[in-house]
Structure 1
Amino acid sequence: MLTGEIRNKVDKIWTDVWAGGISNPLTVIEQLTYLMFIRSLDEKELENESFEAISGEAMPKIFPQDEDGQAMRWSKFKTKDSRVIYDIVGTKVFPFIKTMNGDNTTAFSRYMQDAMFLVPTPQVLQKIITGLDELYEHDIKDLDMQGDLYEYMLGKLATSGQNGQFRTPKHIRDLMVQLLAPTPNDKICDPACGTAGFLVSSAEYIRQNYESEMTSEQWDHFAGDMFSGYDTDRTMLRLSAMNLMLHSINQPNIDYVDSVSKQNSIASEYDIILANPPFTGTVDAESINDNLKIICDTKKTELLFVALFLRILRKGGRCACIVPDGVLFGSTKAHKSLRKELVENHQLQAVISMPSGIFKPYAGVSTAILLFTKTGAGGTDKVWFYDMKADGFSLDDKRSSIDANDIPDLLARFHNIEGEADRKPTEPSFLVDKSAIEANDYDLSINRYKEVVYEKVEYDAPEVIMNRLDGLNLDISAKMEELRGILGE
């Protein structure tokens, strides 16, 4: 999360760009992200050079080794005259990053082709470079800067909530990845990928847990077809491509696809789905893929995406997705049909209820995480419910860091589900039999099964209370008489 001080610095950079003549907020975001990417490339090259010097092992180079190539590095040009910087970035660095990942078949090259350098003047560019450098070096060295900064800047877009284009907080993404625990052999997809946050979190998890034991074939898989993401916004796809490339994923399958439309025919393809699909709006009924209508005949995107997840998972594939609470208890035929499909025809494993402030300041909607495995033959026996009350941050618009955090407990309990067998519905987590869910018309709201224990309060008999009041009145009268006596003296 960005502190108030960092937000002020970001606002200052934003104001400089706006004053320079760029008034479209999305264009500002794009231009700042390109420059963050250019800086990050140099950071990565410096890391490689440091590792090479220590280990003696040759590392691949990002920038050409000649004089012109080295002049394109952020650390080399940032202190030069503003007009020189503007010329280097506009005529050398920008064309370089648009073509740096080879032929046009790669996601990076495909979506960077129509990227444009639009910073209006050398003075504005120098202010941005100075501002970003100060942010990186003094404030946010160890944060997921590209994502956090993007998330903050997106709050300046009037349409962010309507389009569903706000980033899932990193700690929630990491939680969902840890729940599914992907392996180096899995194929992972986010069909509403935005800036590819879930794919990046998955890559970080695999590196952290398997890096030392991965084979060359697994590394090739990691750099290539392990990760897939789809979106209908080319700006998001460019940001995804840059984000993934910075995490050593050079050939991801990032594509322009309307995931729930007839244009998307993918089926039984992926081992892992991680997603936070759009909650709002409907889609054109004519464009919806017919095999999604079979599961739930609706135009609501939050239902169609869950049906899509079932279709594109292979048998045995697993999904962790965020849904608005309405999916859990909605009474329409489509809502009930989808929930019945999950419970009866696949293995629904968990419903994790999250507090309504998780996505503030962009949305206050109550949400839940659904975890399920595609089987095509049932398998739901008991469903685990968890009532998350705190995620380590305040639930107001500021989302300040706090001590209360249920996530460690949640993960420990989920990965020891046998230990939950004796938990009562009065506790934060418990198991519910499939028969109980079926009897409740497949309602998956935790409040349907949770029991609240009310503490019994014992009150004195009315006569005792009245006597006590009489005593108090007599005492007050005596004090009043005493006060009158003092005043009359």
Structure 2
Amino acid sequence: MITGEIKSQVDKIWESFWTGGVSNPLTVIEQFTYLLFIRRLDETQLLEEKKANMIGQPIAHVLFSPNQQELRWSSFKNKDPQTMFDLFTRPSIGGVTVFDHMKEVGAEVGVFAQYMKGATFMIPTPRLLDQVVQMIDKIKMEDRDTKGDVYEYLLSKIATAGTNGQFRTPRHIIRMMVDMVQPKKEDTICDPSAGTAGFLVSSGEYLHEKHPDWFHEKSFREHYNSNMFTGIEFDNTMLRIGAMNLQLHGIESPNLIGKDALSEGNGDIRDRFSLILANPPFKGSLDYDGVETSILKMVKSKKTELLFLGLMLRMLKTGGRCSVIVPDGVLFGSSNAHKQIRQEIIENHKLDAVISMPSGVFKPYAGVSTAVLFFTKTGTGGTDQVWFYDMQADGYTLDDKRSDTKENDIPDIVTRYHNLASETNRLRTDKSFLVPFADIKANDWDLSINRYKEVVYDEVTYAQPSVIIQDIKNLQEENKQKLLILEELLK
């Protein structure tokens, strides 16, 4: 758990960037990430040196040659600001800068180094660089939990929405989805719109918390560190941020793919994953000729939120599960494409649940109303009944402040989802209930909870008009008497 001291340290670093002229939140995070990685390179080399000294053997993986010692964090952090800045911006040691070396070092310390193409050093002054380096150096990040918590807190400071409807998914919503699908030992997990890799990170944390004994098995560790996690992301900045997020949470070698998952030519990614968790872009629109043909056969649309559902069905293995956030329009949209993808999931596969979330869940990024769909790829149907839940509170106020509150439906949602047998007697006036396949089909595949939820209205009895009029007259008479008394007092 991140401490108040570490939060304060990160806050001060963020403020220094802001006052130093770097005001774009993503730029701040990216530059912060580079410096964390440069520090990590030196820490890795120091560890290799200690091992080599202990066994009396040469260093196995040399990250800094003898003439590159000034490029190490432990060296340049003690330089004066201008000298340090020159090491970052003016090639002198072996013809490279600290920043060049970071990009060229290769994959010796994890997946992050593979995504350095396009990385740019954007700290404008020696003074700001020195300030930030000294503050980062004071943050104690000895273990996986602390490293991950520091970076998650840094990412939580993004306060602006991205383009094309992209915005950061609240971590407690991600964790709710992970707790509901309960990642398994053999799962291959994918997020086709990975962003900062929050879903993959949360899945890894779930496994550490719920099944720590699995990590004692060599076969599972190898699976966890190489094949278990796949993220697809077309934005290079987000790809680097996601890679660092995964590394700092102890996932060193995830499969990260830098391309648009929907684009033509990506049809090779099919029947590959047993679990997909995602919050794909809501407001995007693509031309037909830019979309992979196999997806269009499943859902003829230009809307990214519908295309991603088709993509996920294609990417899942038979028996694979999916938990995905969608805008409310996906649930009740009346276009042919909306009905087509809903019918595909409900009739040809198995729709398990629909969680309707309040519109404030994504504030301050956006006020859009959303839901979470849970479905299983079968290819042969299997939807007998669908579980609906009307989430009304998520533990935070639903305004822009998103302050903590006691009202929270999430624990109830997770518990009930894993005990659906006890939901059979729930009424449609309750927060959760089951709806048979036949009812959904009869309603043209509509998945809006309001279509099935019943509202009970309390009968209100009013007095006769003559009685109400007399009450008004009595009040007027009382007011008249009070005014007379007031006049007497003022004489």
Q: Which band: TM-score by shorter chain?
A: 0.7 to 0.9
CA distance in 1, matches of 2:490, 2:423: 71
Q: Displacement of 1:294 after TM fit?
A: 1.8
Q: Secondary structure at the match of 1:310?
A: helix
In structure 2, relative to structure 1, the CA distance for the partners of 1:419 and 1:25 (3 Å cut) is closer
**Over the residues paired in the alignment, what is the CA RMSD in angstroms?**
3.6
Letter in 2 for 1:257: K
Pairs within 5 Å for 1:7-46: 9=12, 12-18=15-21, 26-39=26-39
Partner residue of 2:231? Answer: 229
Which of 104, 110, 116 is residue 112 of structure 1 equivalent to?
116
Letter aligned with residue 270 of structure 1 = F
Find out whether 1:276 has 2:275 as its counterpart. Answer: no
1:144: Cα distance to partner?
A: 3.2
2:167–2:365: 8 Å Cα contact kept in structure 1?
yes
What displacement does 1:308 show? Answer: 0.5
2:80 alignment counterpart: 81
Q: Secondary structure at the match of 1:183?
A: coil
Instruction: Mark the CA change 1:195 to 1:476 in structure 2 (over 3 Å): closer, same or farther.
Output: closer
CA distance in 1, matches of 2:41, 2:403: 31
Q: Does structure 2 retain, via aligned residues, the 8 Å contact 1:231–1:256?
A: yes
Is residue 343 of structure 1 aligned with residue 378 of structure 2?
A: no
Alpha carbons 1:147, 1:195 under 8 Å: kept: no
Task: Tell me if structure 1 keeps the 8 A contact 2:84–2:126.
Answer: yes
Q: Is the counterpart of residue 354 in structure 1 residue 374 in structure 2?
A: no
Given that 1:179 and 1:414 are in contact with CA atoms closer than 8 Å, whether structure 2 keeps it comes out as yes
**Contact map agreement 1:347 1:373 (CA 8 A) in 2:** yes
Match of 1:443 among 435, 443, 446: 446
SS at match of 2:363: coil
Stretch moving more, 7-16 or 253-262 = 7-16
Q: Which residue of 2 aligns with 1:57?
A: none
Cα distance, 1:288 vs structure 2: 1.1
Question: CA separation of 1:130/1:401 partners in 2, compared to 1, >3 Å: closer, same or farther?
Answer: farther
For 1:169, the equivalent position in structure 2 comes to 170
Amino acid in the other structure paired with 1:163:
N
Q: Which amino acid aligns with 2:202?
A: S
CA distance change for structure 1 residues 202 and 131 in 2, over 3 Å: closer, same or farther? same
Per the normalisation by structure 1, the TM-score is 0.85
Check whether the contact 2:165–2:284 (CA below 8 A) recurs between aligned residues: no
Per-residue CA deviation, residues 262-290 of structure 1 (Å, 9 max, x unaligned), is 22111100000000000012012112112
Query: 387-396 or 221-230, which moves further after superposition?
Result: 387-396
Closer/same/farther in 2, CA of residues 456 and 98 from structure 1, 3 Å limit: same
2:202 paired with 1:201:
yes
1-structure distance, mates of 2:284, 2:325:
16
* Alpha-carbon distance in 2 for matches of 1:45, 1:402: 46
Q: For residues 110-134 of structure 1, give each alpha carbon's deviation from its aligned partner in whole angstroms, at most 9, with x where no partner exists.
A: 3124434343443221122245467
Residue 153 of structure 1 deviates from its aligned partner by 3.7
Q: CA deviation at 1:10?
A: 5.4
Q: Aligned pair in 2 of structure 1 residues 79, 385: CA closer, same or farther (>3 Å)?
A: farther
Amino acid at match of 2:220: Q
Tell me, in whole angstroms, the C-alpha distance in 2 between the residues paired with 1:402 and 1:315: 40
The amino acid that maps onto 1:189 is C
Structure 1 residue 108, shift from structure 2 partner: 3.3
Alignment match, 2:456: 453
Residue in 1 aligned with 2:249? 247
In the alignment, the residues of structure 2 paired with residue 117 and residue 476 of structure 1 have an alpha-carbon distance, to the nearest angstrom, of 75
Task: Confirm whether residue 405 of structure 1 aligns to residue 411 of structure 2.
Answer: no
Do the aligned partners of 2:45 and 2:64 also contact (CA within 8 Å) in 1? no
1:56 corresponds in structure 2 to none
Count of matched residue positions in the alignment of Structure 1 and Structure 2: 470
Native 8 Å contact 1:63 1:70 kept in 2: no
Pair 1:98 & 2:108 matched: no
How far apart, in 1, do the equivalents of 2:120 and 2:329 lie? 41
Letter in 2 for 1:210: H
Distance 1:113 1:287, change over 3 A: closer
Q: Which residue does 2:131 correspond to in 1?
A: 127
Q: Look up the match of 1:150.
A: 155
1:101: how far off? 5.2
Q: CA deviation at 1:84?
A: 5.1
Q: Are the structure 2 counterparts of residues 7 and 217 from structure 1 closer, same or farther at C-alpha, using a change threshold of 3 Å?
A: closer
Which ranges in structure 2 are unaligned for 5 or more consecutive residues?
A: 52-58, 90-95
Residue 340 of structure 1, CA deviation? 0.6
Supply the AA of the counterpart residue of 1:249. Answer: I
CA contact (8 A) 2:148 2:245 kept: no
2:17 and 2:23 in contact (8 A); partners too: no
Going from structure 1 to structure 2, the CA distance change for 1:88 and 1:99 (only over 3 Å counts) comes to same
User: Which stretch of structure 1 is more off in the superposition, 144-153 or 329-338?
Assistant: 144-153
3-state DSSP of counterpart to 2:372: strand
Aligned AA (1:81): D
Once the two structures are superposed, what CA deviation does each residue of 1:169-202 show, in whole Å capped at 9, x if it has no partner?
A: 1111111111111112110000101111111111
The 3-state SS of whatever aligns with 1:463 is helix
Which of 294, 298, 318 in structure 2 is aligned with 1:295? 298
**2:393 is equivalent to residue 390 of structure 1:** yes
Post-superposition offset of 1:95: 4.8
Amino acid at match of 1:198: F
1:40 Cα deviation (Å)? 6.1
Q: Residue type of the partner of 1:119? A: I
Q: Indicate conservation of the 8 Å contact 1:223/1:251, yes or no.
A: yes
| Structure 2 CA distance for aligned equivalents of residues 107 and 5 of structure 1 | 29
The corresponding residue for 1:257 is 259
Other structure's SS at 2:222 match: helix
Map of 1:306-345 to 2, 5 A cutoff? Answer: 306-345=309-348
Which amino acid letter does the alignment assign opposite residue 116 of structure 2?
M
1:256 Cα deviation after fit: 1.6
Bigger shift: residues 395-404 or 88-97: 88-97
- What whole-Å deviation, never above 9, does each CA across 1:224-248 have from its counterpart, x for those lacking one? 0111111111121122222222222
Alignment check: 8 A CA contact 1:232 1:256 kept: yes
